[in-house]
A and B are shown apart, each in its own frame.
Chain A
Amino acid sequence: MKLIASAALAAAMSFVALGASADTLKIAFIDPLSGPMGPSGESGLKHFMFAAEELNAEGGVNGSQVEVVGFDNKVNPKESLVQLQKAIDQGIRYVVQGNGSSVASALIDAIEKHNKRNPGEEVLFLNYAAVDPAFTNEKCSFWHFRFDSDADMKMEAVTDWVAGHPDIKSVYLIGQDYSFGKAVAAAAVRMLEVKAPEVKIVGNELHPLAKVKDFTPYVQKIINSGADAIITGNWGSDMVLLVKAAIDAGWDKPILTYYGGSTGAATAMGEAAVGKVRQVSEVVVNYPSSPEQQERIAKFEEKYPENSYYYHRVFNVMHFLDAAAEKAGSNDPTKVAYAMEGMEMDGAYGHLTMRADNHQILQDLFVGTFSANPPRGVEGLPLGWMAEDKDHIPAAATSMETTCQMTRPKM
């Protein structure tokens, strides 16, 4: 059954591109739809498609129907540029991407260049998950908006948690060997030094991205180091296989993650991870929210029973796009981008602000805990993510200084 569903999805993705018409607003979704990171991308695409339906049911964006077109980039920056060109050739002016800061970085550069060379045909990049802090600091671009909190903002939450648990005397950092993994490790070292100088960093390890199939040697190294907690920014298969190996080896101390909710991780973790694995995210589905939000989650999981509601920020992307286009009175990317700067909105989990100075969203964050018997489980299990009020970090507290000096185009 699973096979047919994914085959159908793949087929749908390749054919939607054909039915272009003047009054559709097309969005290119450039992310991995195959390979080890495929499940992450597929889950993201489903969230976007669902959010697009939601907008379309309310009359679309300025009357245009929204259509999300999937492009498989295999988490490869070079392949992503090919896919970007394909999207631009199809007349698509909006790009969304999230999996892999290496990819996001390539897209930002390419879109900067494209927009400079093709005035009147600008492309706007809405980033829903690539969290290398550089994109909203030294590498910031007018054409890039980030809807996830960056690696530093999340690390603030993680290190606060560590500082608040005096029984944690040593931590082990493990991450993926590319810009994002390095950013996470650097932030952890920097922040722990200030907040909890007595906590020792007993390991700081990078492993190749999406290449390791067996994390057992790494896990045994971690156990031997005597660490009291693991901090990791791993996502996708690297997250799933890391926790799988850790649980198999009997690891029973905290694992502090950015993406513990990656597709497949809950199944790999099972009962053994309850109360140990934590995740910093903008959504915890079991945290009290409005009836509308609860209904949205229920409908999403009813429509895609194989996936759990995970990318809440995808809905923020789409609703910001909608509101900005309405404010601008146009679907033109340049006008929409200007309208989006400094825009505020009430989201399902708190007030949202898109900073004008560096295009970074400010949103409430949660330190969720993997728990047994939550009201709403994940991946069909009686396990899921829970958070209490003490785990809730208000948006304002996540704001950070920026070194961004943005050059803005003429309107």
Chain B
Amino acid sequence: METIVFSLLNGVIYGLLLFMLSSGLTLIFSMMGVLNFAHASFYMLGAYFAYTVTDATSYWFALIFAPILVGLVGAGVEKWGLRRVHANGHVAELLFTFGLAYLIDEVIKIVYGRNAVDYRVPEALDFPLFTLYGAQYPAYRIFMLLVAVAMLVALWVLLKKTRAGLIIQAALTHPHMVGHLGHNVPMIFMTVFGVGCALAGLAGVIGGNYLVTDPFMAAYMGPIVFVVVVIGGMGSLEGAFVASILLGLLQTFAVSVDASFADLFGWIGLSSATEVGRITIAQLAPMLPYLLLVLILFIRPRGLMGEREL
């Protein structure tokens, strides 16, 4: 029982963090057709900006200004980088974001050094909130949950309930038509790119001190974010949400399951004395998202809720 409760809590929090990262990516992809390889780098930028701002002022300033800063950087990248490259087609855009990811990585290494920085959970949130089955639960995790849910609600309201959201939704599927109707499509693209990056930045701000802030955090998160987008279906926010929560739960549950291959496949005669039989489900946890990725591409290439094929 306790295992289930804890895994649910941890899985949902991790899942929401993943969603915060992948929502921007999937928005950008569906609108501009650009698979932004540098997306996880904006997540890293968020964490580092937050570290710097926290050092100078306080965590609460960082929580607000670091994502804005990342959003501005993102908007700048779109305006002065992607837009020019766009004329040369999708491959050029892909290569551009690919190069950008490396560039951001290297700049971070030069500015902040190659090792982890001491970006900490703010003192005000650094206490156990409640005790559950003998284990204390840190308040900061619940705070992350709240921030993520707040972001989710805000994003939903923005997209579904406002005029701007209406235009964005229209531009997602019919950008030319929206342009012909007299809307400034490049401006919409820039805003969406900026907001997408800001969301990744926000994930960095709240995830950087919960996990670790080092120059490898982008490379660590990058692949998983792509897995989320592919499983959820390219360009589907709902799909990204379902996939994020699914992956979050899958990974945390896998870690907490105390079973090995021998327990699972004992009925076909696999004994715990063999090399294969000794592999535990927990050991497989890091591999599961990619296994799922391969399976999804195999069985349902457009993802859980995607509308178009890859």
Contact = CB atoms under 8 A, between A and B. Distances in A.
B250 to A, nearest CB: 12
A237 B135 contact: no
Contact of B255 (A42, A217, A249): A217
Interface residues of A, number: 36
Interface in A206-246: 206-208, 211, 213-214, 216-221, 223-224, 237, 241
A39 B116 contact: yes
Interface stretch (A2-10, A20-28, A54-62): A2-10
A382 interface: no
Interface residues of B, number: 40
B216 A36 contact: yes
Majority DSSP secondary structure for residues of A touching B: helix
A89 B117 CA distance: 34
Interface centre among A6, A36, A237, A267, by most chain B C-beta atoms within 10 angstroms, is A36
A237 B131 contact: no
Contacts of A7: 110, 113
B221 to A, nearest CB: 9
Interface string A194-216: 00000000010111100101101
A16 B248 CA distance: 46
B136 A248 contact: yes
B135 A250 contact: yes
A399 B8 CA distance: 48
Nearest to B128: A250
B41 interface: no
Nearest to B220: A213
A36 B211 contact: no
A344 interface: no
A250 B131 CA distance: 9
B2 A237 contact: no
B38 to A, nearest CB: 20
A299 to B, nearest CB: 24
A224 B5 CA distance: 12
B256 to A, nearest CB: 5
B26 interface: no
B212 A241 contact: yes
Given A177-B283, A208-B286, A223-B134, A217 B116 contact: no
Interface string B172-214: 0000000000000000000000000000000000000011101
A2 B220 CA distance: 24
Nearest to A9: B113
B10 interface: yes
Interface in A1-50: 2-3, 6-7, 10, 33-36, 38-39, 42
Contacts of A3: 111-113
Interface centre among B3, B131, B255, by most chain A C-beta atoms within 10 angstroms, is B255
B6 interface: yes
Contacts of A214: 10, 14, 210-211
B267 interface: no
A10 B113 contact: yes
16 contacts: A7-B113, A35-B214, A35-B216, A205-B280, A206-B280, A208-B283, A214-B211, A217-B6, A217-B7, A217-B255, A218-B255, A219-B135, A220-B2, A224-B3, A224-B6, A267-B118
Interchain residue pairs A-B with the least CB separation, the first 10: A250-B136, A34-B114, A6-B113, A213-B211, A217-B255, A38-B115, A223-B135, A220-B6, A249-B135, A248-B138
Given A42-B115, A208-B283, 16 more contacts: A2-B117, A6-B113, A6-B114, A38-B115, A177-B283, A205-B282, A206-B283, A214-B10, A214-B14, A214-B211, A216-B141, A220-B3, A220-B10, A221-B255, A224-B6, A267-B118
